[in-house]
Amino acid sequence: IKRVPTVVSNYQKDEAEETARRSGGCGKNCLRSCCIPGAKLPLYAFKKESEKDAFESENKEPPVAFLDSLVLGEWEGRMQRGLFRYDVTACETKVIPGEYGFIAQLNEGRHLKKRPTEFRVDKVLQPFDGNKFNFTKVGQEEVLFQFEASEDGEVQFFPNAPIDVENHPSVVAINVSPIEYGHVLLIPRILECLPQRIDRESFLLALYMAAEAGNPYFRLGYNSLGAFATINHLHFQAYYLAVAFPIEKAPTKKIITLNDGVIISELLKYPVRGVVFEGGNTLQDLSDAVSDACICLQDNNIAYNVLISDCGKRIFLLPQCYAEKQALGEVSVELLDTQVNPAVWEISGHMVLKRRKDYDEASDENAWRLLAEVSLSDERFDEVNALIFEAIGGGKDAIENVEEPDTKAQSIEKENGNTETSHHAMVAGTQQCLVLQ
C-alpha cells in the first residue's frame, strides 16, 4: 500500500497551494461558479416512500441497478482511471476471534503525513468556512452522480444531466482514501455549503440512499465534529463490506415505542453505549426521530456518530467522548500511539489499523479496550438519553409505552437469543424525563 496523506479528494491540498491556484485561476473542473455553468453529471432520481410502494406493486425494474451498476460500477471505473490514492482491495483484512468478530484492516495509507483537523474538537457546531477545503472544490471526475427525489413519481436515470444550481443538487462522490470497497461520500445540497450538522431533510436523504441500495452490507455512517469528522461540510460516508458489523450482532433492550411506531432500544453488551432506532409507520417517521435526536445532541454540544444499517431500517446513535478525553490527557499513551481515531466505522467494529504491529497483535481484548475509551459513562449516558427522549417525545402524548421486554439481539445473519439486561437504570431516566414534561 502506498503511504500517502489521508485526504478525501485529490484536490484537498495545503492552504498555500490552494491560494497559489486561486491566484492563477481554477485550472480544474470543480463544482464552484467558475466551472459549474454548463456542466453535466449523471442523475439518479429515486421514488419517495409513498410512491415506492406503488412502484414495487407494478413489478417494474429500475432503469439501473443502484448499488451494483451505479455506485460500485462507477466506483470501479474511477479506480481504473487511477483516481484513488491506493488500492484498498490490497489491504490485509481479518476477522478477530471473539464473540462479535471484530474486523481488523491494515491500512497504512491513511495516517502518514496526515493533515491535522482544521476545526476545534470541543465544538460540535461550527460555521462553514469557504476558505478551508470543502466539497465544492473537488473535481467533477470524482463525482459519481447526482442523487435526488424524482419529480414525476418514477425512478429515473439520466447519464448526462445538467447541474441545476437552483435546485440545490445532492451528489455522491468517491473518497479517494477509501476504507473499504465502494467507499463514497453523500453530500446533501452540496452548493448550499452546509456545515457538518444533521437536519431532517439531509438525514432522510441518507435513509433513501440506504433503501435504494437495498443491500444490508452497504451501510452509511456519519461523524459529527468532535467525533472525528475532519471536514466541516455536510456529508455522510458509505461503503460495502460483505460481513455483519459487530455492533449489528449486539443484543438490545427495547426502551420505548413512539406513537408513530418508532422503537427505541438500548444497546447492550457492547463496549460503546448507544441507542438503536427502528420501525416507524413510514421512513419519514424513523428519519424524523433520529434526526431530532441528533439535533438535540448538536444543540447540547455532544459529539456523536451514526450508523445507518439494514437498508435504512435500523439506525445506531452513539454519543462519544474520545476526543474530549484526548484533549484532557485522559487517554493512555498506548492507545494514542495507535493513531486510531475511533469514528463511526471503528465504533461499529471495523477497526482500521494504521501500523503493522497493531494489526498483527489485534485481539478482541484490544478492540474492547479502545472502544471502552470512546463510550460515555453510565451516569452521563443516562443524562444524554434523558435529553434525547425529551427532544423526541415532546411529552407523554408522543410515547406509546415504556417497557422492559425480553432482550433481543438483531443481526444481518441471525437472531441472537441473549437475554442479559443492562446494569444501569436507563428506563428510570426515561420515566423521569416524561414526568418533567
Active site members: 235
Report the alpha-carbon distance of residue 238 to residue 213 in Å, rounded: 11
Strands (E), 152-211: 156-162, 171-174, 184-187
Q: Which of 92, 101, 66, 381 is nearest to 210 (CA)?
A: 66
Packing angle between helix 283-299 and helix 378-393, nearest 10 degrees? 130
Q: What angle do CA 279, 282, 284 make, to 5 degrees?
A: 105
d(CA 22, CA 353): 36
Residue carrying the nine cell digits 423526541: 392
Q: Which grid cell sits at 98? A: 471473539
> Which residue(s) pair with 57 in the sheet?
none
Buried/exposed 213-232: b ≥16 CB within 10 Å, e otherwise:
bebbbbbbbbbbbbbbbbbb
Give kind and range of the element (H or E) at residue 381.
Answer: helix 378-393
For residues 164, 169, 174 and 177, what is the CA-based torsion angle, rounded to 10 degrees? Answer: 120
CA distances to 217, 240, 358 from 206, in Å:
15, 15, 33
The count of other CB atoms within 10 Å of the CB of residue 122 is 12
Compute the CA torsion angle 382, 388, 391, 393 (nearest 10 deg). -80
Per-residue DSSP letter, 278? E
